[in-house]
Chains A and B, each alone.
Chain A
Amino acid sequence: MELWFTENHTDNIRFSIKIKQHVYSEKSRYQQIDILDSYELGRILVLDGFIMLTEKDEYIYHEMITHVPMATNPDIKRVLVIGAGDGGTIRELTRFKNIEHIDMVEIDQRVVEVCKEYLPQTACRLDDPRVHIYYEDGLKYVRGKDNEYDLIIVDSTDPFGPGEGLFTKEFYGNCYKALNENGILVNQHESTFYDEYAEIMKRAHSRIKSFFPISLVYQAHIPTYPSGHWLFGFASKRFHPVTDQHAEWWLAQGLKTKYYNQYVHSGCFALPNNVRDVLRETKPAEK
Chain B
Amino acid sequence: MQLDHTRAPLYEAMKEYQLDRVVKFDVPGHKGGRGNKVLRDFLGEACMRNDVNSMKPLDNLCHPVSVIKEAQQYAADAFGAENSIFIVNGATGAVQAMVMSVCKAGDKIILPRNVHRSAINALVVCGAIPVYVNPGVNNDLGIPLGMTPEEVEAAVLANPDAKAVLVNNPTYYGICSDLRKIVEIVHGHGMKVLVDEAHGTHFYFGEGLPPSAMSCGADMASVSVHKTGGSLTQSAILLLGKGIDPNYVRQIINLTQTTSASYLLMVSLDLARQNLALHGREFYAKTVEFADYARKEINAIGGYYAFGEELCDGKAFYAFDKTKLSVHTRAMGLAGIEVYDLLRDEYDIQIEFGDIGNILAIITGGDRALEIERLLGALNLIKKFHGKSPAGLYDHEYIDPILEMSPQAAFYAEQETLPIEKTAGRVCSEFVMCYPPGIPILAPGERITQDILDYIAFAKEKGCSLTGCRDMNVEYLQVVKFSAGNDRR
- Chains A and B belong together in one complex: yes
Cβ of B137 within 8 Å of any chain A Cβ, yes or no, is no
A165 vs B374: C-alpha distance when bound (angstroms) = 7
Interface residues of B in 373-395 (CB under 8 A from A): 373-374, 376-378, 380-381, 384-385
- A-side contacts of B373, CB under 8 Å: 137, 139-140, 143, 165
B370 interface residue, CB < 8 Å from A? yes
- Cα A121 to Cα B377 with chains together (Å): 35
- Give residues 300-319 of B contacting A (CB, 8 Å): none
Residues of A within 8 A of B380 (CB): 143, 170, 174, 177
Q: How far is it, in angstroms, between the C-alpha of A30 and the C-alpha of B149 when the chains are bound?
A: 49
Whether A169 contacts B370 by the Cβ 8 Å rule is no
Interface hits, A105-141 → B, CB 8 Å: 137, 139-140
Chain B, interface SS category:
helix
Give 1 or 0 for each of A168-187: 1 = CB within 8 Å of chain B CB. Answer: 11110110010000000000
Give Cα A124–Cα B489 distance, bound, in whole angstroms: 88
Measured between beta carbons, the chain A residues less than 8 angstroms from B370 are 137, 139, 162, 164-165
Q: How far is the CA of A286 from the CA of B371 in the complex (A)?
A: 22
CB of B433 to closest CB in A, whole Å: 30
A177 to B369, CA, bound (A): 22
B347 located at the interface, meaning its Cβ lies under 8 Å from any Cβ of chain A in the complex: yes
Residue of B nearest to A169 (CB): B347
Question: B384, A177: Cβ atoms under 8 Å?
Answer: yes
* Least CB distance, A107 to chain B, in whole angstroms: 9
Contact A168-B347, Cβ < 8 Å, known A137-B369, A139-B373, A140-B373: yes
Interchain nearest-CB distance for A93 vs B (Å): 25
Q: Is the CB of B347 within 8 A of A170?
A: yes
**B346 CB-CB contact with A under 8 Å:** yes
Name the residue in A139, A177, A285, A287 with the highest tally of chain B Cβ atoms < 10 Å from its Cβ.
A139
The listed residue (A162, A165, A170, A286) touching B381 by CB distance below 8 A is A170
Who on chain B is nearest to A146 by CB? B384
Contacts of B384 in A (CB 8 A): 173, 177
Contact of B377 among A164, A174, A285 (CB under 8 A): A174
CA distance A139 to B370 in the complex (A): 8
Give Cα distance in the complex from A137 to B385, angstroms.
23
Number of interface residues of B (CB under 8 A): 16
- Are B381 and A140 closer than 8 Å at their CB atoms? no
1/0 per residue, CB under 8 A from B, across A57-69: the answer is 0000000000000
Q: Decide: A170 and B385 in contact? CB cutoff 8 A.
A: no
Q: Report chain B residues within 8 Å CB of A177.
A: 380-381, 384
**Contact code string B170-186 (vs A, CB < 8 Å = 1, else 0):** 00000000000000000
With CB as the reference atom, state the residue of chain A lying closest to B376.
A143
Number of interface residues of A (CB under 8 A): 18
Q: Which of B104-145 contact A (CB under 8 A)?
A: none
Which partner residue on chain A sits nearest B343 by CB separation? A170
Contact with A along B330-359 (1 / 0, CB 8 A): 000000000000000011110000000000
Which residues from B are CB-within-8-Å of A169? 346-348, 378
Tell me which of B348, B371, B376, B377 contacts A173 (CB under 8 A): B377
Looking at the assembled complex, report how far the CB atom of A187 sits from the nearest CB atom of chain B, in whole angstroms. Answer: 16
Closest residue of chain B to A107 (Cβ to Cβ) is B370
Residues of B within 8 A of A143 (CB): 373, 376-377, 380
Question: In the docked arrangement, what's the CA distance between A143 and B301, Å?
Answer: 10
- Contact B346–A285 (Cβ < 8 Å): yes
Expressed in whole angstroms, the Cα–Cα distance for A142 and B378 within the complex equals: 12
Contact of B385 among A168, A171, A287 (CB under 8 A): A287
- Bound together, the chains give a CA A130 to CA B346 distance in angstroms of 37
Q: How far is the CA of A137 from the CA of B381 in the complex (A)?
A: 17
In angstroms, Cα B373 to Cα A287, docked, is 19
Question: B371 to chain A: which residues have CB within 8 Å?
Answer: 165
Please name the residue on chain A nearest to B301 by beta carbon: A143
Segment 130-161 of A: residues with Cβ below 8 Å from B: 137, 139-140, 142-143
Known: A174-B381, A177-B384. Contact between A139 and B374, CB under 8 A? Answer: yes
Nearest residue, chain A, Cβ from B371: A165
The minimal Cβ–Cβ distance linking A153 to chain B, given in whole angstroms, is 18
Residues of B within 8 Å of A171, CB to CB, are 374, 377
List, in ascending order, chain A residues with CB within 8 A of B348's CB. Answer: 168-169
Kindly state the separation between the CA atoms of A286 and B347 in the bound complex, as whole angstroms: 11
Contacts of B381 in A (CB 8 A): 170, 173-174, 177
Name, among A169, A171, A285, the residue most crowded by chain B CB atoms within 10 Å (CB to CB): A169
Contact A139 B377 (CB under 8 A): yes
From A170, which residue of chain B is reached at the shortest CB distance? B377
B370, closest chain A residue (CB) = A165
Of B349, B373, B374, B385, the most chain A CB neighbours within 10 A belong to: B373
**Nearest 4 interchain pairs by C-beta:** A170-B377, A170-B378, A173-B381, A165-B370
Q: Knowing that A173-B381, A173-B385 are A-B contacts, what are 18 other residue pairs whose CB atoms are under 8 Å apart, sorted by A's residue number?
A: A137-B370, A139-B373, A139-B374, A139-B377, A140-B373, A142-B377, A143-B373, A162-B370, A165-B373, A168-B347, A169-B348, A169-B378, A170-B347, A170-B349, A171-B374, A173-B378, A177-B380, A287-B385
| Interfacial residues, chain A to chain B (CB-CB below 8 A) | 137, 139-140, 142-143, 162, 164-165, 168-171, 173-174, 177, 285-287
Q: What are 5 contact pairs spanning A and B, CB under 8 A?
A: A165-B374, A168-B374, A169-B347, A169-B348, A170-B377
